[in-house]
Structure 1
Amino acid sequence: MTLNGVDVLSLGLALVGTVVAVVAICLTLKFRSELALPEQIANIPDFLSKEYLERRFPTRVTQEFEWLHTLKDARFATEKKYELLQQEENYKDAISRFQAVTLNLNADFWERDFAYELSLALEQVGVMVLAGAIPLNIVLAMIAPQIIEDWGYCSKFVEKIRAKRPLKPKESDDKTQIRFHRWHGEWLVYAAAIYMDRYWTGRLLDDLISVVCDGDMQTIRKREEELWEELWEELTKPEYSIVPKNTKKEIEKLLGTDC
């Protein structure tokens, strides 16, 4: 059948094909956008408990014939063995003794396993915050002191791993190696320190901050800003941008820095 010399059937099929193609493109773009944007975690306390505070060790970890099932168990074991609660005048020294044990990568020490799993947990929380799945203000309000204390346990271990297995951008001519290992977790620690310094005071805060950049808040702020610049540049590349704009604004407001 023709109308004014035009095949109506062919025209109809062409229109249907065009509509189907447009719908397919829209669905594809919607699907890709949903993949690119992380889903917000509904039960934040449950996530932080399972993936961080009481995260389970994937393999058997023992301390003096006692099985340590979770990071919470290991924290208690650390406090007991290194007398952290009794070291009111030498808290940093007690942490340093723990850190020294984690640096022996060739021996089978539970402290090293603890430091590794802690660094992994901090990294995961940092990634989820920057991806917009967890609001930074809620994380810091709930567990900022624990984040700082845990970094004291694992920071020297992380530094040693970075030195042994450095990474840098493939296309960069800069010889400076990026802080790839656990850098989202490290940024979260600096954010927690800035948050605590802004809203809290007291001896506990002084002890906690003492294990981060020797307690120098000016250095902490500088490192947070430098690390954020590296993260922001990397995470906002067009091919895999994952940091939502509202997350950036939240960080600017909470930390008082121009991100």
Structure 2
Amino acid sequence: MNETAPEPSAAGGGAESAYNYGTTEPISYANPTDEDHLLNRELEECLHRNSLYESKQQQQHREQVLAELHILVRDWVRKVSMKQGMTDTMAAETGAKIFTFGSYRLGVNGPGADIDTLCIAPRHIDRSRDVFGSPDALTGEKSDPEFVLVDILGQRAEVEDLVAVSEAYVPIVKFKFSGVEIDLLCACLQMSFIPEQLDILDDSILRNVDDATQRSINGVRVTDAILRLVPSIPNFRLVGTLFAYSR
């Protein structure tokens, strides 16, 4: 995604027309002065001095954790798929994806903040049975722990403080992965496989999914919609970090 979104043309606009991004008029349409740029730099320096930004090392650690989590959920989906009779090749192609949302995705998270994540899985994955290990609604049988995501996470040495809440309004799994706090939601779409370039804002992915899945996806969709609407992402992140600091 580009750091600075293209500015739309104003309807019927001439050379002096200005596009209004919000519901109210801006205080000024004037370009920033040299003094404004200086104040921006001073604000960033102030936020850095007060440790509102993560270090490069902290950022890389979070990225590594997310990469490992992505590998874990893809392997989990592959195992469940093979259990249901797919060949190894077919199971590997079903796929799964991890999306982030909230402050981390917006780029306004501070050091030590949790990461809101969403696992997208194909339709043959059942949230209750395969994520939380709940008994089958018809047979009452439970899946073997090696096929249940919560149990797989619980067996990892890097995972601590694992809490699964299957009956929440938005079912959630909370845990620490290598010291990073993760809130994980899961959405099972009506797709036989999850494409690598899945467009989360495509409304068609909401067809025939249950309410819990819609609510789980909502956070990612709203976050990405915000980022697509923001004309200057660096400025947005600076202001967002300031608001987080001022709370």
Tell me which protein shows more strand as a share of its residues: 2
TM-score by length of structure 2 reads: 0.23
Tell me which protein shows more helix as a share of its residues: 1
TM-score by length of structure 1 reads: 0.22
Query: Which is higher, the Rg of structure 1 or of structure 2?
Result: 1
